[in-house]
Structure 1
Amino acid sequence: MSSNSPSSPLRVLVVIASSRPGRLAPAVAEWFVETTRRETERERMVVDVVDLGALALPFLDELEHPSTGVYAHEHTRAWSRRVADADAFVVVTPEYNYGMPAVLKNALDYLYEEWAWKPVAFVSYGNTSAGTRSVQMTKQVVTTLRMMPIGATVALRIGDSIEDGRVSERPMLGRAARQVVVELARVARALRPLHLAPATDGTTPGPVDGLSLSRVGEGDDVSELLVLQRSCWVEEAHANDTLDLAPLHETLADVQAWAKTWTVWAVRRHGRLVGAVRARAVGSTWEIGRLMVAPDQAGNGIGSWLLAVAEQHAPEEATTVALFTGKRSRRNIALYERAGFHLTAAPTTPDDAVLLTKSVAATTLA
């Protein structure tokens, strides 16, 4: 996830979307980054470049559907973290047989939530059509992933714009590239609240419409919280093949008791309680727990959003963020790993659970 602060610099991922030997894409990407450097600095953008040829993702090899966020392979988790960290994208792509390169389609298909609610610009190149047919094909895919293609583009005809393997310095191309950056920044800032965690409590834009975030008082929301908790932990019971889970057996008095000793955030959607998370300081550790989202709201990004809310409230003296989940809770583990947590060995961890930790410094930069 990109920075939790709406005022932090925008993070732009420039994607080199070709792996063919002798490709022009790296030279085109280098030209774009250098030509727009002044504009990216003015717009407070941090530019990261990823070369899909060097990234070398295998042909999609995950068993679970990308929308689940359950990733078995480290190459997928690493790609997920990089994409999730971005606020916007620039795709530098050639055109192959009226379409996009297979390596680009594969990279897009690996993920789902990580792309959502972010703008994407295109810098294309080719012969007769200057790569524009590749862009049109790619737009169909990215809009399905809930991305927003911007209107400004750069289209380079190889015969007119490439000399000795490099982009020719032409004023018209430079103006087009700079316009891409200006428009991308404007749209990225408008969309940012849809994929960032809120900075304060209260009614706040979130990953879906109608969300309202508030802290839970001793007597507030507790009955609903108990019902939500039990409905959420049924799936955990199935995943871990046990009913011996505390959240399934706690009474109203139990929930009232821990609500007094933990900071608890509840999120409502159009008035209905759909999620919650709790956190507390234990020495220098900020402990997060009971992250829950109503089963019918799963997959909308609310869990990641709530996790970020809890992380951002870590006290200054905290050095580590920690949480536990079931050993077989693959979806939970995948969500936490996408957020930068790592499985950590600890002698006090229950036999049926795993501990995941993250440094507070990583949380601040995440």
Structure 2
Amino acid sequence: MPATLFDVSKKILVVIASTRPGRLGPAVGDWFTAATTATAVELGVELDVADLGEIGLPFLDEPEHPSTGNYVHEHTRAWSRTVAEADAFVFVTSEYNFAMPATLKNAFDYLQAEWAWKPCLFIGYGNTSAGTRGVQMARGVATSLRMLSIGGDIFLRIADDLRDGRVIATDRLALRARDALVELSRVADVLRPLYRDGDEIVPAAVSDAAELLVLQRCCWVDEALANARLDLPALLESEDEVAESLRTWSTWCVRSGGRLVGSVRARRDGDAWEIGRLMVAPDRRHTGLGRRLLAFAEGQAPDDVSAAALFTGEHSDRNILLYQKAGYALSTDPAPVGAVRLTKSLAA
């Protein structure tokens, strides 16, 4: 099993924007992935394709602003997970009436934090302008979402670069695609401390017990207020009890500038992988660190465990939303008084 999330390759998401019948976007995306496959392997990059025509996002239907991260619909949560997991983006977009397709604008508008601080590249295609005007509009939206457009975009004129619904795979175009992927990957490495917390997830030691105690008391004050109860174990444990828990739970922590800013623990409970004490220092919240820790803990589950389970306060609405966005569902199984149990399938 990996020691940290940084052991996995970078993921670059190729987003196919057009959804209309007869569209050329999938062919352009296929050309780009084929032309850059060998380079992606060399760079340790995983190319993944998100075809908006297949994803089928409805016109924005979330009642709350995307900045809240409070998503009601599963299609939004799934889109959030897809974008959050990506390190960079390649947007393959046509041009309609001097603009990008409404489907791409809609996909942008669903989310906010998931896009931020990540680099992006555009592949435009069209007739007279080769898609340049649509890309210009899309680049402005991407910039407003705090993405970094690296330049070096690729533009294809349909009359010159496509034939019979496919890109004419010349050496010239292949070289441009490979160079663009290399640059995108390098910029993603530089920006990673901004869009990933940048701090390594490592096993906790008994010597961390005092800091873990301080962190959990700090974090569980919010839970006490949300659930109107002060008898939460995380608030009542002693340093010795926290140290003892390190012997019975697998616990991991994150430090930044020498300070412990996050932690999570897990252990086997029958057929389930129980995850607990997911906590992030208040000044490091809304950075994606909690999602990283949760995903990391899930990744440590034994191969023969098919489900993850966790508990949170029945009125801890923020926590419940976080877990639901990560694929968990409320369970009817028994839970401690004042708590709810959530589960998630870990099957491949």
Relative to the length of structure 2, the TM-score reads 0.81
- Shift of the 63–296 alpha-carbon distance from structure 1 to 2, 3 Å rule, reads farther
Instruction: Say if 1:9 and 1:219 are closer, same or farther in 2 by CA, change over 3 A.
Output: closer
Aligned: 1:132 with 2:115: no
What is the aligned partner in structure 2 of residue 50 from structure 1? 50
Q: Within 1, Cα distance between the matches of 2:4 and 2:140?
A: 29
After superposition, what is the alpha-carbon deviation per residue over 1:176-225, rounded to whole angstroms, capped at 9, x for unaligned? 23333343344445656766xxxxxxxxxxx336x465544445442x43
Structure 2 unmatched runs, 5+: none
Separation in structure 1 between the aligned mates of residue 7 and residue 240 of structure 2, nearest angstrom: 41
Residue 46 (structure 1) shift = 4.1
Match of 1:208 among 197, 207, 227: 197
Could you say which residue in structure 2 is the equivalent of 1:349?
A: 335
Q: Percent identity?
A: 55
Residue type at the aligned position of 2:292: W
Distance 2:243 2:208 in 1: 9
Return the alpha-carbon distance in structure 2 between the equivalents of residues 221 and 3 of structure 1. 21
In the aligned structure 2, how far is the partner of 1:297 from the partner of 1:269? Answer: 10
Deviation of 1:116 (Å): 4.2
RMSD of Structure 2 on Structure 1 (CA): 3.5
User: Would you say how many aligned residue pairs link Structure 1 and Structure 2?
Assistant: 347
User: Which residue is equivalent to 1:308?
Assistant: 295
1:268 shift after superposition = 3.2
Residues 58 and 242 (structure 1 numbering): CA distance in 2 closer, same or farther, change over 3 Å? farther
Give a deviation string over 1:8-29, Cα, whole Å, max 9, x none: 4543322111234443323332
Report the AA paired with residue 167 of structure 2: V
What CA deviation, in whole Å up to 9, does each residue of 1:154-184 have, x standing for no partner? 1012343344544345543343233333433
Partner of 2:112 in structure 1?
A: 112
Contact 2:5/2:296 (<8 A) preserved:
no
Task: Identify which of 279, 283, 302 aligns with 1:296.
Answer: 283
How far apart are the structure 1 equivalents of 2:246 and 2:44? 41
Deviation at 1:292, TM superposition (A): 1.2
Change (3 A) 1:359 1:23: closer
Which residue identity is paired with 1:265?
W
For the 8 Å contact 1:276–1:293, the answer to whether it is kept is: yes
Distance (whole Å) between structure 2 residues aligned to residue 345 and residue 194 of structure 1? 38
Normalised to the residue count of structure 1, the TM-score between the two structures is: 0.78
Q: Which runs of 5+ in 1 are unaligned?
A: 196-206
SS in 2 for 1:91: strand
Take 1:33 and 1:245, find their aligned partners in 2: how far apart are those partners? 51
Q: Which amino acid aligns with 2:31?
A: W
- Are 1:60 and 1:110, in contact at CA under 8 Å, matched by a contact in 2? yes
Alignment partners' CA distance in 2, 1:74 and 1:48: 20
What does residue range 1-366 of structure 1 map to in structure 2 within 5 Å? 6=6, 8-40=8-40, 43=43, 45-188=45-188, 207-208=196-197, 211=199, 215-218=203-206, 220-222=208-210, 224-252=211-239, 254-315=241-302, 318-346=305-333, 348-350=334-336, 352-359=338-345, 362=348
For 2:56 and 2:300, locate their aligned partners in 1 and report how far apart those are by CA, in whole Å. Answer: 37
Structure 1: distance between partners of 2:65 and 2:321: 13
Segment of structure 1 superposing worse, 53-62 or 3-12: 3-12
What is the rounded CA distance, in whole Å, between the counterparts of 1:4 and 1:218 in structure 2? 20
